Every structure is written in C-alpha cells, then in structure tokens.
Structure 1
Amino acid sequence: MNDAMIDLSVQQLGLAEPGDAALVRSLPIEAPVSIEVGGIGYAVMMATPADLEDYALGFALSEGLVEAADQIERIDLHAVEGGWALRLWVPAERKAMALERARQRVSESSCGLCGIENIEQVLRPLPPLTAQITTDRAAIAAALAALRDHQPLGQATGAVHAAAFCTPTGKILYAREDVGRHNALDKLIGALARAGTDPATGFILLSARCSYELVEKTVRAGCPMLVTISAPTSLAAERAVQAGLTLVALARADSALVINDAQGMIA
C-alpha cells in the first residue's frame, strides 16, 4: 500500500466464456481531506492523498482564497483519523475572506443553488484572459499520445483522472492524478505555482468531462487554453467564450472539436 492506491484480492468472473480467476487488483485510495484556512474549517473533499501540498495550494488559488502562492505563509499536512487535514496559514485579510466564503459554502450545500444571490455567486464574472500562445493540431496530438506515460496511477487502477500542463509544442511538463477531476486540476495548478511555472505559457490537458468548474479553474489560473478528452457541458462552453478561453474537447488521436478559439491560437 502507498498514499495513492491499495492492492485488493478479487475474483474475476467469466461471463462470455466459462472460467473464473483469482486476481490482485490495484484500487485508487479515496479519502476525506479537510481544508482549513487560518484555523477555519473551509471544506472537506474526497481526494487521493498524494501530492497534497500541491492540492492545498492549487485549491486556494482556484477558489480565489489567495491571489498568489506567496500569500500562503505555511501549509501543514496532518494525518487524522480516517483521512487527512490540510491547514493553510494566510494573512488576516485572507482569513476574513475565507470565513465569509465558508459561510457561503454552508448555505449553498444546505439548500442547493436556492435563490438568486447564490446563483449570482456561482456565475460571477471571470477575469478575462489576456495571455495567448501559438500552437497547432500536431501539438495537441503529441500531448494526447504522451499522456498515458504520465498516468502511473491511472495505468495501475484504471479509475483516476489526470491533468497535465503542456508546452505549445505539446510536451508535457507536469501531470497530476486524482479520483476527482477537479482535484487533479487543483493539484496541477499547485504544482505549477510551486515550480514557478507560468500557466500562461502553455495549455492544460484533462482526461475528463469538461464541466464549467474546470473551465473556471483554468481561467483563474491564467492558462489560455484547455484541451479535454471528453465533451463539455453547455455552461462550460458558455463560460469559455465569456472569458476568452480557447477550449478543445473530444480530443482523440484522429480528431478534436474546437469549441472556442476566438484568439486564433490553433494553427
């Protein structure tokens, strides 16, 4: 067992043809991870407990709790009963913001998106993207072809999502995995921040369905282009257009669907 997966003895049943077999199957670990900001309980997420410092930093950035990595004074990681606790220490003004946001999260989770104030909060304007890159379809194909080599947990379990940061030529520089697609992207954003790599200098590749939250996290990170293997939702496409994010979906070895490329980044 490690921080990312366990091995489990299972029985494989023959359905098309007779023949059962005893196997050992690797399963990804899914555990509760509590996130505290300045001593305030902010959220409890279900995540794979690997690269948790990247996750803490990326979550804080994509949630808007901080605007830059240097606004986090310290990250403490603790194993607790049944899971993990991530404790982020921030300046007083950021702690006050976290407290207000935590109250909003409780309100939203208790009743869903009930009421115009909550809906407006969810659909608040995104910062317009100003960064641009120049890339082409060959770069997208190259990144897709290389992604599997950056998914050791995915290859072992077949049950996790991956998020990768790619250069404009399609070279993968960083990749992170998690049982949750949002978590994988947060981990990647945190890894970029810790490495001092500007998200505006490349594009992000996701092995997941493209929901609006993934578009918003990409935009808030300052990355100008997102490529996803699965299809986007209508709101994801709408938010990409609003923010000026180049969005490519249903990316396969032989084709891809350009949802938005108003800046003409893809040759």
Structure 2
Amino acid sequence: MPTTPTPGRGRRGVAVHGEGAPQQGEDWLAEEAPLELRYNGRPFAVMMATPLDLEDFATGFTLSEGLLAGADGIRGVAVQALLEGWVVDIDAPGVAVPGDDAARLLPGRSGCGVCGSRRLEDVLRPLPSLPAGLRIEAQALQRALAQLQQRQPLNAATGAMHAAAWATVDGRLRHVREDVGRHNALDKLLGALVREGADPGDGFVLVSSRASYEMATKAARLGVGLLAAISAPTTLAVDLARDCGLTLVGFLRPGRQVVYTHPQRLVQAPP
C-alpha cells in the first residue's frame, strides 16, 4: 500500500557530496503516485499526484474540467489505496465516460493539465463571462503572499510542492492545498471551497507557479475573478483572461505585481 510515515512525503536514503568524504543520510521527498480517476466505475484518466485531499481533488477536477456544472451532481467519492497506486471513483451519473477508443487514456503527468485530451476542441473550450463586481485592494495580494510560505508545510519539508491558496478580498488566506502538480493543487483548492459551500468568486486565488492557460481556465470555470501567480503567465492565458473577464496577475513578489488583464478589479487603499 502506497503509504509513508508522514502523509504526502517520505524519507529516502541519500549520499551528500561536498568537501571531504560523502555523508550518508536521509532526505524528505514529496510523495508522487499514480491516481486513477473513475466515473461510475469506468476509467477516465490516470494522473500523477500527491495522494492527499483526494475528495477535494475529485470534486475540483470534475468541475474545473467542465464534466459537471455543479457539485450537486456528485453523489459520492470513494478512495482506495492499491499496491500500484490509488483509485478515486466518483459517483456522478451525469458524467458520461466515452468508450475506450475516445476516452482520455493518456496519463496526466504532474506538470500537465491537459495530458490525455485527444482533440483540440476538448482543450480550447469557450468560457462564460465572469461578473465584474469583485473589487480587491491591491495590497491584499501582498498580504496573501506574505502568509503563503508559512502555509506550505510539505514544501518546507521537501522543496518540491506547488501550492494553491484562496484568500478573502482583504488578503486573509482561508484555504491552501499542496501537490507535486500545480494543476492538482488548484483542483484540490477549488474542490475544498465547493465542498465547504464557499463561493470561489468571493475572493481570489494565489498560485505558487506560472499561470498557464489550463490554470486560468480552471479558475475561471469556477467563477474566480482574480488569479495571481508568483511566476509568469503565458500568452494564451492572457488571451483567455482578457476574453472571459478574469483579472490575471503575474510576478507577484514582495512590493511588486504585474497586472495583465482587467486591472479595474484592483483598487488602491485610501490613504
């Protein structure tokens, strides 16, 4: 069974080379395992992920991929650990899994959000326009960023985890999820919000990675009005954000951030 002494991480032997003789020791490493997603007992995709918060992941993945319009279509999630990895079976009668000749049969690697999608129209799907009402103080992004590092225990131990966080409009972090895959971390976060009954559009999302097209798509599909990334966005992510009304922020660093689309959502605090 793929378990470790501490969930999400495991120790492995290492030899540290530097000055003098190599030193033998152990290192904490991020846990990465194959995760088979099934809908109603039928295989849909195999993802590489950190096997934590899998109910959140199943919910977020289902909604952010547009397989269901709402979480009320998910009747239950069953998680099973096997020798080879993990199986997550989502009971969702409204999801029709195609036959084996058309299914998403390729694996979804840790760094890939659309691996296994076999047609262009499956990837470049239009999104509804986001409402324009959200207003966030620009300094709130800095407050959220200042809290993020302390809310990433697995990354602190392993140095190999991405994080996705949701903050209120004043910059208080409410939820953080970690995973070796940036898309997985975001799906876990969105799933946690939906399962709690929170509206993702009432705050903003901060990710410790680049803002790719897939990340922007997942956020926008769940109604997130502002996505902030520590790294850069891609051209396609900017185009998508501009078209659907998503405020996209990149290079979020202490004292600095770059706004690529819809800057009207960010307001300056009064003096």
What TM-score comes out, normalization by structure 1 length? Answer: 0.90
Q: How far is 1:34 from its partner?
A: 0.4
- Residue 151 of structure 2: aligned partner: 150
- Residue 6 of structure 1: aligned partner: 10
RMSD: 2.3
SS in 2 for 1:99: coil
CA distance in 2: counterparts of 1:64 and 1:113, whole angstroms: 13
CA distance in 1: counterparts of 2:98 and 2:31, whole angstroms: 30
Q: 1:223 to 1:18 in 2, by over 3 A?
A: same
Q: 1:108 to 1:127 in 2, by over 3 A?
A: farther
How many residue pairs match? The answer is 258
Q: Are 1:87 and 2:86 counterparts?
A: no
Residue correspondence of structure 1 range 193-232 to structure 2 within 5 A? 193-232=194-233
Q: How far is 1:2 from its partner?
A: 2.6
Residue identity (%): 44
- Residue 24 of structure 1: aligned partner: 26
Contact residue 132 and residue 263 of structure 1 kept, 8 A: no
CA distance in 1: counterparts of 2:230 and 2:265, whole angstroms: 21
Residue correspondence of structure 1 range 150-169 to structure 2 within 5 A? 150-169=151-170
Q: Deviations over 1:51-93 (max 9, x none)?
A: 11111111111111121111101111111121100001112xx
Q: How far is 1:215 from its partner?
A: 0.2
CA distance in 2: counterparts of 1:132 and 1:100, whole angstroms: 42
SS in 2 for 1:149: helix
- Residue 37 of structure 1: aligned partner: 39
CA distance in 1: counterparts of 2:35 and 2:104, whole angstroms: 16
Unaligned runs of 5+ in 2: 109-114
Query: Structure 2 counterpart of 1:164, which letter?
Result: A
Q: 1:45 to 1:22 in 2, by over 3 A?
A: same
- Residue 70 of structure 1: aligned partner: 72
- Structure with the largest fraction of helix: 1
Query: Structure 2 counterpart of 1:68, which letter?
Result: G
Contact residue 104 and residue 117 of structure 2 kept, 8 A: no
Query: Structure 2 counterpart of 1:189, which letter?
Result: L
What TM-score comes out, normalization by structure 2 length? Answer: 0.88
Q: How far is 1:221 from its partner?
A: 0.8
